[in-house]
Amino acid sequence: MSTDEVSDCCGPGYASPAEAIKAPREKLLYTVALYTGTGIQKPDYLATLDADPDSPSHGQVIHRLEMPQIGDELHHTGWNACSSCHGDTSMDRQYLLLPGVRSNNIYVVDTASDPRAPRLHTVIDGDEIKAKANLSGPHTIHCLGTEIIISFLGDASGEAPGGYLHVNKDFEIVGRWENSMGDIPFGYDFWYQPRHNVMISSEWAAPNTFMPGFDLEEVGHLKYGRRLHVWDFEKREPIQTMYLGEDGLLPLEVKFLHDPDSTHGFCCAALSSNVIHFWKGEDGAWEWEKTVDVENQLHPEWPIPLPGVMSALLVSMDDRYLYINNWLHGDMRQYDITDPHNPVLTGQVWMGGLLGKAPEVNGVEVAGGPQMFQLSLDGKRLYVTTSLFSTWDNQFYPDIRTKGGVMMMIDCDVENGGMSINEDFMVDFGQEPNGPSRCHETRYPGGDCTSDIWL
């Protein structure tokens, strides 16, 4: 199926990356906010932010949808439908799914009935997921036509490798999506390219390993991942493993280019602080290379040089720029990837971090470092939050418990490259009504740069 043939799918979906770039500016942001790990006995919630620069409440939280219980650890989110919904015009990007990594519950939120005040639609019960699919630790969500697949990092007891949950459009559990996990030891993120019948998945660790906090010795004991896995998407089974070794310690987020004809993609290796570039070779086998290497930095309070901890990455909708973070160093970077084999650094800004280069931004002390980020469809605005995972936050940035997280906006030069922090935008989650919370992933109504996969 060509890109043109899916022009009307998914209601607010886009027929192609080029169409998405021309979409109207985002007016609302949906950001998960957490009280898990703060000591405040309140539920995590979905914060709706006003992103309209002409609005009097621009940059403010205008609605909070609390979850039904305390301690979910909301983390990554995903839509029920995207631009790869196979021409099904009955589908609409109405529901945002919010998994609780600790509770295993998946909350389905209706964002369309009242976009400024989303409401809870239904809950996919975490205990039912454990019973029916033997899975725990939900992470990445992608729509699969009219269906949904969700990566889980562990089995029901919290041990790796986990697997993939298959949910239908009515949010009923179908069962496990994969036919085999092969020899995969760990799960985490994934992205697929349907024109090439391929999915690439990455590795973090078992929930029982990462949930209590980070222990460097466990990396040496091989309790954290260092591989990327290539899947036959139609057969739903892994067919090749790319072992990254010391260059790919903790390979986390993985993204293909948005061009559905491309086989090029990128992954960030958090502890190695490297960007891994992968592609399909002429002989049909998948290849990889290290294209960005962020050097560790000396720190007086660290017994070893401080790694950047590159924990997230995304590709602009036009496939020109790659954005990465260094959560512990405190910088965001922009690379021109016109030649994916040779990224060129074109922008860098500092916010928070342990190197002390920008402890304050727009008058607010930043506890934490740049962590999750979402790029506007036109590539001009990058929204950045500061929380990674509650126990890791508390371990590396203990002040975040009392200061809370923040959201900042970076203005991006899409013509010449370059980044600058917007001085008129700052969402301080340390000032929330129930006390300081921390913020993680952000999405927009109608889809965003990390949702859509095209046919």
Q: What is the pLDDT of residues 204-261, one digit of tens each?
A: 999 999 999 999 999 999 999 999 999 999 999 999 999 999 999 999 999 999 999 9
SS3 call for 381: strand
How many whole angstroms separate alpha carbon 333 and alpha carbon 350? 9
pLDDT of 39 = 95
Place of tokens 């280069």: 357
How many whole angstroms separate alpha carbon 93 and alpha carbon 295? 41
User: Measured between alpha carbons, how far is residue 322 from residues 1, 202, 254, 418 in Å?
Assistant: 27, 18, 12, 12
Q: Which residue, 68, 74, 77, is CA-closest to 38?
A: 74
Place of tokens 């985490």: 188
Residue-wise pLDDT for 245-256, tens only, equals: 999 999 999 999
Please indicate, yes or no, whether the overall pTM of this predicted structure exceeds 0.85: yes
**pLDDT over 90 percentage in the chain:** 88
pLDDT of 246 = 96
pLDDT of 4 = 32
Which has the minimum average pLDDT: 46-60, 281-295, 441-455?
441-455
Average pLDDT of the residues in 168-186? 97
Q: How confident is the model at residue 88 (pLDDT cuts 50, 70, 90)?
A: low
Q: Which two tokens stand for residue 213?
A: 């906090």
Q: How confident is the model at residue 87 (pLDDT cuts 50, 70, 90)?
A: low
Q: Which two tokens stand for residue 140?
A: 């990445």
Q: How confident is the model at residue 14 (pLDDT cuts 50, 70, 90)?
A: confident
pLDDT of 350 = 98
Helical spans, DSSP H, in 365-453: 390-396, 400-403
Contacts of 313 (CB under 8 A, 6+ apart): 253, 255, 266, 267, 268, 275, 322, 323, 324, 325
Q: DSSP secondary-structure letter at 114?
A: S
SS3 call for 383: strand
Sheet holding 173-176, edge to edge: 136-144, 147-154, 163-167, 173-176
Q: DSSP secondary-structure letter at 26?
A: P
Q: Position 44: which residue type?
A: D
Q: Of all residues in the chain, what percent are helix, strand and coil, respectively (each to 5)?
A: 10, 40, 50
What is the CB-side half-sphere exposure of residue 73 using CA atoms within 13 A? 20
pLDDT of 448 = 86
Average pLDDT of the residues in 431-444? 97
Helical spans, DSSP H, in 203-329: 207-210, 216-220
Residue 91 has pLDDT above 80, yes or no: no
How many whole angstroms separate alpha carbon 359 and alpha carbon 380? 24
Sheet holding 198-201, edge to edge: 190-193, 198-201, 227-232, 237-243
Q: DSSP secondary-structure letter at 307?
A: P
How many whole angstroms separate alpha carbon 54 and alpha carbon 228? 44
Residue 245: Cβ within 10 Å count: 9
Residue 403 has pLDDT above 70, yes or no: yes
pLDDT of 15 = 79
pLDDT of 9 = 31
Domains of the chain as residue ranges with CATH: 3-443 (2.130.10.10)
Place of tokens 């605005």: 381
Largest CA distance in the chain: 58
pLDDT of 447 = 75
Q: Which two tokens stand for residue 277?
A: 């570039």
pLDDT of 89 = 65
